[in-house]
Amino acid sequence: MTTLITNIQELLQVRDTNILKVSGKDMKQLPTIKNAYLLIDDDTIVGYGNMEDCKNIEADTVIDATGKVVLPTWCDSHTHLVYAGNREQEFVDRINGLSYEDIANRGGGILNSAEKLQQTSEDNLYEQSVKRLKAVMKLGTGAIEIKSGYGLTVEAELKMLRVIKRLKQDFPLKVKATLLAAHAVPKDYKDNKEGFVDLVINEMIPKVAKEQLATYIDVFCEKGYFDLIDTERILKAGKSHGLIPKIHVNQFNAFGGIEVAVNNQALSVDHLEELNESDIAMLKTGNTMPVALPSCSYFLSIPYTPGRQLIDAGLPLALASDYNPGSTPSGNMNFVVSTACIKMKLTPEEAINAATINGAYAMGISSMYGSITRGKKANIIITKAIPSYAFLPYAFGDNHIETVMINGQIV
């Protein structure tokens, strides 16, 4: 089955060579072809170019994209999409003056979500998650990483990861799973954090590895959650079982977590709302991808990741949604891209690079996703008729997507 998209106003993120990420000043460059065509064979991109070179190409299906922009689907490298219920009351509590930390200290936050999830059956949890996954696919997400971390018991963490596995099997988009058991200290271990860390290391990680339920190991490295020693222990234990490190770090405090991440060859460091010069210097010594979560900053009214500073230092940057019930109840990557431009001062080119090729790198999949490259998966967005690609982040309140294709099929 071949599909030919013709008369594309502008085809974005065209990479003839299969680069894995873009960094620094290169993020300002977004290679495009105007008046373009794109040829797809089954689930694979096989050709593209100027319409002048399209005259003799035949295909089973032809889509006219006159006035429209075509680009790769978003690669959302940080979500908590599998969760039970919601936390709208905490939203109201914050409006009334409580901070995220205040809510967590009185038993809300992650512990609230964990209690709901523990009481929810696997099938019910799956059905709730399916609705969210279908919604983000329609919004242009073609690859997604989903974390556990709202279980906080061996049984509930495994339940979350099995739901993620079912989503991976049942839906066409690329799904990567992360074990984030060290997301918070459960109530039963309130005065025995070390005991919970031991549980994660000695029971959860081995069971998850045995069932091959996750690719990555993650830790919420933050004051009041897991310190540098905890983080180091958990990441090393995960690595010993073949899990690749990622890390939640510098959301509220900068106290050395980035050094732990880089020293453990973490694939990504996510959040980074608080950042200092030594953190940036450390990031420049490794290949760890900084990931910003601007929707979280928007929702919690906390500082935005200094993406401009990271890029100007020559580093790469990825953007992700942080979709979760407490601090970002949205997986809309279009809003993420807009917010990065409006609040973090990224250019449209930088934001699109961050949400496509660099997002794919932060998931370990940029060899097959994140750009318009021959041989890569045909995961694409076709916009409605718009003046230019800068209109996507500019007109942030509208849905500019007309069609989403994943593996060459319209979803």
Binding residues: 78, 80, 87, 150, 183, 248, 251, 322, 324, 326-327
141 with 72: CB under 8 angstroms? no
List, as residue ranges, the binding site for 4-imidazolone-5-propanoate: 87, 150, 183, 251, 327
End-to-end CA distance of the chain: 16
Whole-Å CA distances, 162 to 129, 177, 269:
12, 10, 25
List, as residue ranges, the binding site for N-formimidoyl-L-glutamate: 150, 324, 326
Report H helices in 276-326. Answer: 277-283, 294-300, 307-312
Q: If you ran DSSP here, which 8-state letter would residue 28 be given? A: G
Provide φ and ψ at 278, rounded to 5°: -65, -30
How large is the greatest C-alpha to C-alpha distance in the chain, in angstroms? 72
Provide φ and ψ at 163, rounded to 5°: -65, -45
Give, to the nearest 10 degrees, the angle between helix 154-170 and helix 110-118. Answer: 80
CA–CA separation, 213 vs 377, rounded Å?
23
Write out the DSSP string of 199-246. HIIIIIHHHHHHHT--SEEEEEESTTSB-HHHHHHHHHHHHHTTPEEE
List, as residue ranges, the binding site for Zn(2+): 78, 80, 248, 322
List, as residue ranges, the binding site for Fe(3+): 78, 80, 248, 322
